[in-house]
């Protein structure tokens, strides 16, 4: 009942917050009308360009442009009308700025409402202009966008987001738009060869599955697969779903070792996904030898960029198959690709934030952090650390960043939970200030309701005080990880802004960003200078208590980049 009362109270608050906005509407039917209205405009223009074209200079008047539907109807041509409006010397208020830069060559000043909404509301993902206006209690109109512009200017100031918004996220919009326009060159022949190879491998794997099951069936059908595994073969059932027992990735992974058919099914799925998403799936997206992925700044809560159409960040980083697919991405006009990425940036940020002397010293003296951790958790001298010990310690180091539990670590490195807990305890004994930092992250999040990054990004954590243990624990892990992952993302963005500026007179251009890695399509004669710029700007993107180290490689295609 208490929860219900709270929901009613919040509904009443939303109702009261609705803004009564009274504005007139003026119809414009030709370019002369538009030019006349634009004369003597103010210092800002809010613009909606979709199925309709409308703009406003203030909260009182909306100008709607009657658009030409075909060659014979009256009304302004969409492209000409838009270019005329965009040529004004004003701050443009857009919901999504990139299309105006990419499609219409816009190079003016802008305020992006989708980004402002995202950053001022705890990094939630907006679902479109109409959703944002509705959430703010405003009607769908460019006049409402003027209201939001003023409202969010104040909110950004109150939340101390000025530097993040105006110096990092807003300028990055133009950089990303230009990267999208450039695209990455793709060798179609490589994709075609891979398609044939994967077809063969998928078919061979399917035949093995049929032989093991002693019948043919639709491997892609969860119902049929469940019948084979659970009813016919009698394997241990997992969780129940609406259509039967689960055959998802987790359920099958739990069955590994029970029967050899499981490994073949997982292999078949893996190959089918690679084929469908990254081989035949990429083919129709390649236009005139180029693939133009789209980067998004408002999808992830941590501040990392995401990419769609296609999602190039989802390729498995270290798999042999991913390397084969990446070979299709090449330098344009016979040039090379240069990849530069940060070495252990999140662990370095952990050293910076925690101020743990031992961790800081290890990074300042370029020691092998995984070997040092292995020595501590396995209680052996440094020279007795084996490669397996180092791998396990690496899992501990990176697991700590994500607030890993004893159970989670035990699953990752295949050891009893009790032993994994001992590992984590030994880690915190070695780096006691890391434990203090992690605990403080959770405490601050409980007090404020959000986690905060190096540059002030505030990620809302509504479940941090939840009575549901599972949701609360997940929010606690986010509270520990967000300052590290979010700050790393911001440092990469700062580097991108500097690199783009320094390469403006070069033939070589930045074309891809994948997590901590930046890729430049470089002219061979400029490669040495480009490497120097990448290392300089990435190393100096932020001043931390430990050095930022950058690794780079040069190759003819992405698959050969290490």
Dist. CA 132–CA 156, nearest whole Å: 16
Q: Is residue 5 part of a domain?
A: no
Verify that 47 and 153 share a domain, yes or no.
yes
286 lies in the same domain as 310: no
SS in 3 state form for 380-401?
A: CCHHHCCHHHHHHHHHHHHHHH
Strands (E), 263-414: 286-287, 290-291, 294-296, 306-308, 329-330, 336-342
Instruction: Looking at the structure, tell me whether residues 379 and 476 fall in a common domain.
Output: yes
- Taking CA atoms, 395 is separated from 188, 241, 378, 423, 487, in Å, by 38, 32, 13, 11, 21
Structural domain ending residue among the three candidates 483, 500, 528:
483
Q: Are residues 101 and 208 in the same domain?
A: no
275 inside domain:
yes
Based on the structure, what is the number of domains in the chain?
A: 4
pLDDT of the residue at 530: 98
Domain residues for the domain of 22 are 14-159
Cα(102)–Cα(121) distance, integer angstroms: 27
pLDDT of amino acid 204:
97
Q: Are residues 85 and 194 in the same domain?
A: no
Q: Kindly give, in sequence order, each residue whose CB lies less than 8 Å from that of residue 357, ignoring residues fewer than 6 positions away.
A: 433
**Cα separation, 425 vs 335, whole angstroms:** 50
Same domain, 268 and 205: yes
CATH number for position 513: 3.30.70.370
Q: 310 preceded by cis ω (within 30°)?
A: yes
CATH number assigned to the domain comprising residue 380: 1.10.150.20
- How far, in Å, CA of 206 to CA of 217, rounded? 10
Q: How many CA atoms lie within 13 A of 40 on its CB side?
A: 2
> CATH number, domain at 152?
3.30.420.10
- What pLDDT does 298 receive? 97
User: Is there a domain that residue 166 lies in?
Assistant: no
- Bridge partners of 64? 27, 54
Q: Give the DSSP H or E segment for 61.
A: strand 61-65
Q: Are residues 50 and 145 in the same domain?
A: yes
Beta-carbon contacts of 2 under 8 Å, excluding residues fewer than 6 positions away, are none
Asked if the structure places residue 218 within a domain, the reply is yes
- Look at residue 180 and tell me if it is in a domain: no
Render the burial of 334-371: b for 16+ CB within 10 Å, e for the rest.
ebbbbbbbbebbbbbbbbbbbebeebbebbeeeeebbb
Question: Is 2 inside any structural domain?
Answer: no
pTM reported for the whole predicted model:
0.90
Per-residue pLDDT of the chain (562 residues; tens, 9 = 90+): 444 344 334 333 343 367 789 999 999 988 999 999 999 777 999 999 988 899 999 999 999 998 876 655 566 788 899 999 999 999 999 999 999 999 999 999 999 999 999 999 999 999 999 999 999 999 999 999 999 999 999 999 999 999 999 999 999 999 999 999 999 999 999 999 999 999 999 999 999 999 999 999 999 999 999 999 999 999 988 777 777 789 988 889 888 888 999 999 999 999 998 899 889 989 999 999 999 999 999 999 999 999 998 888 877 666 788 889 999 999 987 889 999 999 999 999 999 999 999 999 999 999 999 999 999 888 899 999 999 999 988 988 888 888 888 888 888 888 888 888 888 898 899 999 999 999 999 999 999 999 999 999 999 999 999 999 999 999 999 999 999 999 999 999 999 999 999 999 999 999 999 988 999 999 999 999 999 999 999 999 999 999 999 999 999 999 998 7
Same domain, yes or no: 434 and 499: no
Please give the Cα distance from 235 to 545 (Å, whole number): 53
Strand stretches in 159-287, DSSP E: 184-186, 240-241, 244-245, 286-287
Q: Which of 456, 483, 510 is the last residue of a domain?
A: 483
Q: Give the Cα separation of 150 and 24 in Å (integer).
A: 20
CATH code of the domain containing 216: 1.20.1060.10
Query: 561 near 552, Cβ under 8 Å?
Result: no
The reported pLDDT for the residue numbered 399 is 87
The pLDDT of residue 7 is: 38
Helices 469-502, 345-354: crossing angle, 10 deg rounding: 110
Residues 95 and 128 both lie in one domain:
yes
Same domain membership, residue 546 and residue 431? no
CB crowding 465-476: b at 16 or more within 10 Å, else e: eeeeeeebebbb
| Token digits of residue 418 | 């009790």
The encoded tokens of residue 380 equal: 């052996």
Per the DSSP assignment, residues forming a β-bridge with 7 are none
* Residues facing residue 92 across a β-bridge: 45, 110
Query: For residues 112 and 93, what is the distance between their CA atoms, to the nearest angstrom?
Result: 6
Residue 516 domain-assigned (yes or no): yes
298 is a domain residue: no
SS3 content of the chain, % helix, strand, coil (to 5): 55, 15, 30
Same domain (yes/no): 311, 336: yes
Residues 283, 273 share a domain:
yes
CB neighbours of 485 closer than 8 A, spacing ≥ 6? 302, 303, 304, 346, 401
Domain boundary among 439, 462, 483: 483
Residue 44's CB is within 10 A of a number of other CB atoms, namely 19
């Amino acid at each position: 009942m208490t929860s219900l009362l709270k929901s009613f109270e919040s509904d009443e608050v939303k109702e009261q917050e609705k803004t009564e906005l009274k504005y007139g509407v003026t119809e414009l039917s030709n370019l002369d009308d538009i030019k006349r209205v634009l004369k003597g405009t103010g210092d800002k223009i809010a613009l909606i360009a979709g199925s309709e074209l409308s703009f406003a200079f203030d909260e009182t008047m909306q100008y709607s442009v009657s658009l030409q539907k075909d060659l014979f109807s009256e009304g302004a041509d969409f492209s000409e009308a838009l270019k005329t409006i965009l040529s004004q010397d004003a701050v443009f208020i857009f919901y999504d700025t990139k299309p105006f830069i990419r499609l219409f060559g816009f190079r003016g000043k802008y305020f992006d409402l989708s980004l402002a909404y995202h950053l001022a509301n705890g990094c939630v993902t907006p679902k479109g202009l109409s959703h944002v206006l509705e959430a703010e209690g405003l009607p769908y109109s460019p006049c409402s966008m003027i209201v939001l512009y003023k409202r969010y200017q104040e909110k950004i100031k109150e939340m101390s987001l000025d530097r993040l918004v105006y110096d990092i996220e807003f300028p990055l919009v133009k950089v990303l738009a230009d990267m999208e326009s450039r695209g990455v060159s793709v060798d179609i022949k490589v994709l075609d060869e891979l398609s044939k190879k994967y077809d063969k491998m998928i078919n061979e794997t399917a035949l093995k599955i049929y032989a093991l099951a002693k019948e043919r069936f639709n491997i892609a059908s969860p119902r049929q697969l469940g019948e084979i595994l659970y009813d016919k073969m009698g394997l241990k059932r997992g969780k129940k779903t609406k259509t039967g027992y689960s055959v998802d990735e987790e359920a099958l992974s739990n069955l590994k070792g029970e029967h050899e058919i499981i490994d073949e099914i997982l292999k078949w799925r893996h190959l089918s996904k690679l084929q469908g998403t990254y081989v035949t799936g990429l083919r129709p997206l390649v236009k005139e030898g180029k693939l133009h992925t789209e980067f998004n700044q408002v999808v992830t809560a941590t501040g990392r960029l995401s990419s769609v159409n296609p999602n190039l960040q989802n390729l498995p980083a270290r798999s042999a198959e991913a390397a084969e697919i990446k070979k299709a991405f090449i330098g344009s006009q016979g040039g090379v690709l240069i990849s530069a990425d940060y070495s252990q940036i999140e662990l370095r940020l952990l050293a910076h934030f925690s101020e743990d002397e031992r961790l800081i010293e290890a990074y300042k003296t370029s020691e092998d952090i995984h070997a040092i951790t292995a020595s501590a958790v396995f209680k052996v001298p440094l020279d007795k650390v084996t490669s397996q010990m180092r791998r396990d310690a690496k899992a501990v180091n990176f697991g700590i960043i994500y607030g890993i539990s004893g159970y989670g670590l035990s699953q990752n490195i295949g050891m009893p939970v009790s032993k994994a807990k001992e590992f984590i305890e030994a880690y915190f004994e070695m780096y006691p200030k890391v434990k203090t930092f992690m605990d403080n992250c959770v405490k601050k999040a409980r007090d404020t309701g959000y986690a905060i990054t190096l540059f002030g990004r505030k990620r809302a954590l509504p479940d941090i005080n939840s009575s549901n243990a599972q949701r609360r624990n997940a929010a606690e892990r986010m509270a520990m990880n967000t300052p590290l992952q979010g700050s790393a993302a911001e440092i990469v963005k700062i580097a991108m802004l500097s690199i783009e500026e320094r390469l403006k007179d070069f033939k070589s251009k930045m074309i891809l960003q994948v997590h901590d890695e930046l890729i430049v399509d470089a002219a061979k004669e400029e490669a040495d200078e480009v490497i120097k710029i990448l290392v300089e700007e990435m190393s100096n993107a932020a001043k931390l208590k430990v050095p930022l180290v950058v690794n780079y490689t040069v190759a003819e295609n992405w698959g050969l980049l290490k």
